[in-house]
Structure 1
């Protein structure tokens, strides 16, 4: 499950763009807004190279790029060179930088030699120039100042309510109105939520009614999604939307151009829908459901209407956007709190947990309370604080919904009250001072900051072990060996490469993972046959149902 979670949340828009074919890149770079958005997503050195080549009509020698990298004159690897290689690789994967080899005559020897040159993608150069100089003409004529009632404060409240309504549905809070069927379908398609029947017949592409989708339950990936900053959450859903739009045969160029264009629009300004293509008009309806766009025409029924980007969309490619959660900085922007106390408290933790498993959380956010309710037993709620406790039943309920013990622990640590962190620092300093005074260097290296009580961490993990007493692995059972030599030889090799999950030396059997079986067969056919101990026959595993690996029974405190 950890691999699936990392695959879901480590997939960024950069990786998605890298995998697009060059023909799609060419179409994308015809849009100045898209070029500007992609430029913002590049590393700093890559941005510098873009600006260096932007007004350079001809190609330049590749060696000129090295002039901007400092050489630390060290014997080990130059980190600046590694950063340069990564930046250039990024530019080439996006087809922004083109390699050109030119034959030149050496001025001293007179011999012809090939020298590598680099050149900026000409289509990108033209569009990006227009984006910087304001010559694109596409956005300059779109502004409409006739509607003064659509204020930034209104748009902030609108997008906040839309987005947190989705998050409240994910954590199971009582909400007045369900998200749209498009949002629910995307949540299921992305694996953030699932139906109970999906364990048996998973089919995320099948269309279901809103009554059926209203029974969705949060998954492990969904809980991890709640812990991300709001910008990452939006990109996660948009990436899944891009993948789903491909299956719906929507034009990927139109979809990407619209998403990137939103990051270049001005907050609080209206733009006519007539500028959009048919695909983008379909997208408009979906993005309204996510709170990325406000469309007053939905209410007024006006076809010649304007749409308004919200703060969630205008900060998609912004580097200064630093939303910590879905209910912190946006809320702070709405209230325009100026006091230092309010600003500092929004970035501090709020959870205190005792060794008796009691939890105190200083918060008034309904969303944070709903997240806590996923794995703690709530006891009381006040105007600025809730109290509860970690119990076996509450943790098991979270575990059965796909939330892991490590996720619970990480959430409590990342939201720990500053007082708990201070106490943990003081305790660690005293331990370091004591161990250093007695010269116990091994203990000094093993010490670490313990924000949560160790008894709480151990007990949560033990509660998870109660549900994980048996683990299943896909693979093959090897048996019926002709002699001990074959068995020991293959078993030792399997242990060396780490593909053995279970073994029984007495009965001459062992179980190999699905990925490692081919390696073991190749080794058997190469080594054992050469040694003349296998009688010249090929070794193949006994194909049987994968056997579970037995695990010890945990004990609870």
Structure 2
């Protein structure tokens, strides 16, 4: 499965990535205080959001969690060294915008609802069912094991990605559900502008470069944006996502405690591979690794299944544009087919070439030259990493030149007008065409010009009237 590998970025870039807020936090900041207060009534939601905060924000939250009264800003500020003051201020701002922290009359305090729920999540107890209601073990129908759940999640997720890269290429991959297709198009990852069959977009190709965890949240954020138009309670949708993220992998949970909105979500989440059920009407479900790692830093998919090539890199690129891909993963092969002309396929090796036609095909699908180069860098074989630059400069430059060539040339249908009897006739007809604003190109020295299809009938009639008048 395509995924970014940390070996391809320097320490500074890794630090920036680590300090970047989770994709869900900006969405939560846009919600009203009332909605967040409802969300914070769930201990599992508070624990999940706490996991998404960065280290400084978590530290501030824990410092205030067990205090029974507010603390002054000056007291809290005394704990901060001057060179880290900016980080401290940014953390206060983030917590305030999430309505986790209240700053009033020079004092800091946690949101009372958030404080009570997070305390409950940490200390345990209660019968709210916030972390799901485990089902009693049925010896006749034992739950699916972790290995089976991993295989199911991987199959569902790769079905979505494989359809994205294979649509419009003449292949016939397994088609995801209609709900998944709608979500892909609403997310801008696929488009059917070129016909009835959706095709991957430039945004979709960039999506393939992200690790599975980021890919999943890209789709779930779009799902959250669509909740209102589907008349779903957004707070209940978020609560269910957070509940899933705190469940235990390999266990079964009951559906009886779920709201109507959350029960309706089960159909969608099966399609994405987040949950497994024996059948749609089952009163039990099991979260997969995709669900249980939603708010953690653990891998979203099993690392033991086909992961070696994606982790270590599998592409060797030569200066003659020849590509050797050491993989037997159909998804990785399908991604390469977007911009590489594949020649041979062996059990664990795919051979092809980067050509002008293959790159132009990718460009026509909205994939940029930089995205192609980025993919080659991200998945370069360990042997390639011994070279600097990692990708041959001649290949990089040529891919960029092919893109510039596409941007420089523009084809348009029309008519060429030539063989005028005199310069005066040429200029007379040309001026008329210019008044209609239909001239696309002209060459005075050769007495010819090119006009658009829309203006042809008017120009032809004008020439016929002038010819008949001359006769």
Match in the other structure for 1:252:
234
SS of 1:246 mapped into structure 2: coil
* Residue 307, structure 1, aligned to residue 308, structure 2: no
> Which of 390, 395, 398 is equivalent to 2:362?
398
Match in the other structure for 1:519:
none
Change (3 A) 1:360 1:403: same
Match in the other structure for 1:501:
none
SS of 1:275 mapped into structure 2: coil
TM-score norm. by structure 1 comes to: 0.66
Q: How does 1:144-543 map to 2 (within 5 A)?
A: 144-146=136-138, 147-172=141-166, 174=171, 177-196=174-193, 212=196, 215-298=197-280, 301-302=281-282, 305-319=283-297, 321-322=298-299, 330-332=302-304, 347-424=311-388, 450-469=389-408
Change (3 A) 1:30 1:49: same
- Note if contact 2:132-2:247 (Cα within 8 Å) is conserved in structure 1: no
Match in the other structure for 2:92:
88
- Note if contact 1:297-1:306 (Cα within 8 Å) is conserved in structure 2: no
- Note if contact 1:220-1:404 (Cα within 8 Å) is conserved in structure 2: yes
Deviations 1:222-258 (A, max 9, x none): 0001110000000000000011112222111111111
Change (3 A) 1:141 1:308: closer
Partner Cα distance (2:255, 2:179) in 1: 21
* Residue 34, structure 1, aligned to residue 45, structure 2: yes
Match in the other structure for 2:103:
99
RMSD, matched Cα:
2.2
Partner Cα distance (1:248, 1:141) in 2: 27
Partner Cα distance (1:140, 1:400) in 2: 47
Query: Which aligned segments of 4 or more residues in structure 1 are displaced greater than 4 angstroms?
Result: 173-176
Deviations 1:498-549 (A, max 9, x none): xxxxxxxxxxxxxxxxxxxxxxxxxxxxxxxxxxxxxxxxxxxxxxx9xx9x
TM-score norm. by structure 2 comes to: 0.78
Partner Cα distance (2:367, 2:173) in 1: 26
Match in the other structure for 1:23:
34
Partner Cα distance (1:94, 1:18) in 2: 5
1:10: Cα distance to partner? 9.4
1:69: Cα distance to partner? 2.1
- Note if contact 1:294-1:307 (Cα within 8 Å) is conserved in structure 2: yes
Change (3 A) 1:68 1:129: same
1:297: Cα distance to partner? 2.9
Match in the other structure for 1:531:
none
Match in the other structure for 2:125:
135
Match in the other structure for 1:124:
114
SS of 1:308 mapped into structure 2: strand
- Note if contact 1:62-1:118 (Cα within 8 Å) is conserved in structure 2: yes
1:150: Cα distance to partner? 1.1
Partner Cα distance (1:177, 1:408) in 2: 25
Partner Cα distance (1:165, 1:155) in 2: 15
Match in the other structure for 2:464:
none
- Note if contact 1:165-1:175 (Cα within 8 Å) is conserved in structure 2: no
Partner Cα distance (2:126, 2:361) in 1: 55
Deviations 1:73-116 (A, max 9, x none): xxxxx2x1111111111100100110121xxxxxxxxxxxxxx1
Partner Cα distance (2:22, 2:59) in 1: 25
Partner Cα distance (2:291, 2:89) in 1: 32
Partner Cα distance (1:140, 1:470) in 2: 59
1:349: Cα distance to partner? 1.5
Deviations 1:399-442 (A, max 9, x none): 00000000001111111122222132xxxxxxxxxxxxxxxxxx
1:136: Cα distance to partner? 3.6
* Residue 62, structure 1, aligned to residue 73, structure 2: yes
- Note if contact 1:168-1:175 (Cα within 8 Å) is conserved in structure 2: no
- Note if contact 1:127-1:136 (Cα within 8 Å) is conserved in structure 2: no
Deviations 1:307-341 (A, max 9, x none): 1100001000002x245xxxxx6251x58xxxxxx
* Residue 43, structure 1, aligned to residue 54, structure 2: yes
- Note if contact 2:21-2:53 (Cα within 8 Å) is conserved in structure 1: no
